[in-house]
Amino acid sequence: MGKRGKFKYYIIFFLCFTIFTYGFFEINITKAKDVRKKSKFTIDFKLSPIDFRIENGDYIFYVNSKVIDGMKVKYNEVFDDIYNRIFSKK
């Protein structure tokens, strides 16, 4: 089996994995609120304002506008600190 034969298998595996993950997220996002409350694993997604949450029993992973704003502030602080250390006169 040459490179071309292996590449076909990689493409098929990638397509199957993509379809599986898309279906998994689509089913979890479109569940009814009552069913979501009973489930130990839930995914919530809203575009306006940005809110993406993955809840798994005890742990919650989230990305929302507050996190993005916090990242901007921290980035600016680090940039200013580096800039001041490089260009400050001693």
What's the pTM value of the predicted model, to 2 decimals? Answer: 0.49
3-state percent breakdown (helix, strand, coil) of the chain, nearest 5: 60, 20, 20
Host H or E run for residue 61: strand 59-64
39 and 73, same domain (yes or no): yes
17 and 47, same domain (yes or no): no
Range of the domain at 69: 32-90
Q: What is the mean pLDDT of residues 36-47?
A: 78
48 and 89, same domain (yes or no): yes
40 and 84, same domain (yes or no): yes
50 and 89, same domain (yes or no): yes
Residue 9: other Cβ atoms inside 10 A: 10
Domain count, the chain: 2
Please give the Cα distance from 44 to 3 (Å, whole number): 41
Higher pLDDT, 10 or 3: 10
45 and 23, same domain (yes or no): no
81 and 52, same domain (yes or no): yes
Contacts with 63 (C-beta within 8 Å, 6 or more apart), sequence order: 50, 51, 52
